[in-house]
């Protein structure tokens, strides 16, 4: 893919390293001269010196028609301006806007950003989810929070122990997508006749509204 990385310091450094390894075509823009030199030397990739929230800088960098732009400056308003130029003036297909203020996540989405990322917002979401449900080891929301994937380890007290999937009533829009069993080398993609055993790790796909119900269905 063709990707623009605008602004940022350590996050940009890390991201560029990852993307270069995966052979993506990059345009890197940074307004700090010494950091530009560092990035160029470290990643052997050209870096444009300039403020990426300026139209002429984006224009000279040649971002026209790129697939993705990631805005990583530490000022939320700058990131919005960068992303809006990219979308409105340069036809960049998808923009990812990082924000420091978690309240800007919803706001920037309303202003047309495809994806808005705030580390504080993600931590808050993770904690909210983790306290929602015990036994949860890992979980994530995808597709703008419309889908939840979470793991749970089956304990001896769970009602689903030794039952086949067909006998477990799950809420709507919920499936057990995968079972990880210690005694089985391969992962198990269950069918209706698969039996659930103590110690199984279940990977459950559901909607945020049904997450609690799904958990209850497995436990009781």
| Backbone angles phi and psi of 146, in degrees to 5 | -90, -20
Stretch that binds another protein, among 9-17, 77-85, 117-125, 170-178 (CB under 8 A): 77-85
List 14, 42, 46, 77, residue binding another protein (CB under 8 A): 77
List 84, 98, 174, 211, residue binding another protein (CB under 8 A): 84
Q: Does the protein bind another protein through residue 129 (CB under 8 A)?
A: no
DSSP symbol at 5: E
Q: Which two tokens stand for residue 193?
A: 């006749």
- Region at 27 (left for phi over 0; alpha for psi -120 to 50; beta for the rest): beta
Q: How far apart are the first and last CA of the chain?
A: 47
What is the CA angle 169-172-176, rounded to 5? Answer: 60
Stretch that binds another protein, among 1-9, 61-69, 80-88, 130-138 (CB under 8 A): 80-88
List 107, 161, 170, 178, residue binding another protein (CB under 8 A): 107
Q: Does the protein bind another protein through residue 85 (CB under 8 A)?
A: yes
Q: Which of residues 28-67 bind another protein (CB under 8 A)?
A: 53-56
What is the CA angle 195-199-204, rounded to 5? Answer: 65
Cα separation, 61 vs 4, in Å, equals 9
Q: Which two tokens stand for residue 206?
A: 């559901």
As measured in angstroms, the least distance from the Cβ of 114 to another protein is 16
**Whether the Cβ atoms of residue 36 and residue 30 lie closer than 8 Å to each other:** yes
As measured in angstroms, the least distance from the Cβ of 10 to another protein is 22
As measured in angstroms, the least distance from the Cβ of 67 to another protein is 21
Give residues in contact with another protein (CB under 8 A). Answer: 53-56, 75-78, 80-81, 84-85, 88-89, 101, 103, 107, 110-111
């Amino acid at each position: 893919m063709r990707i623009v990385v605008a602004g940022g310091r350590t996050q940009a450094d890390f991201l560029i390293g990852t993307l270069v390894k995966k052979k993506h075509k990059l345009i890197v823009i940074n307004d700090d001269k010494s950091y530009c030199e560092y990035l160029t030397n470290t990643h052997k990739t050209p870096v444009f010196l300039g403020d990426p929230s300026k139209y002429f800088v984006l224009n000279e960098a040649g971002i026209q028609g790129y697939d993705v732009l990631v805005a990583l400056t530490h000022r939320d308003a700058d990131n919005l301006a960068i992303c809006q130029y990219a979308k409105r003036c340069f036809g960049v297909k998808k923009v990812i806007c990082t924000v420091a203020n978690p309240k800007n996540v919803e706001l920037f989405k309303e202003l047309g950003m495809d994806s808005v990322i705030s580390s504080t917002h993600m931590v808050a979401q993770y904690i909210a989810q983790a306290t929602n449900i015990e036994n949860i080891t890992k979980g994530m929301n995808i597709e703008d929070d419309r889908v939840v994937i979470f793991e749970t380890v089956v304990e001896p007290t769970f009602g689903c122990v030794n039952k086949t999937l067909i006998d477990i009533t799950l809420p709507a829009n919920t499936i057990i997508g995968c079972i990880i069993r210690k005694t089985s080398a391969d992962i198990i993609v269950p069918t209706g006749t698969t039996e659930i055993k103590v110690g199984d790790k279940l990977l459950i796909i559901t909607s945020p509204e049904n997450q609690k119900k799904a958990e209850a269905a497995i436990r009781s």
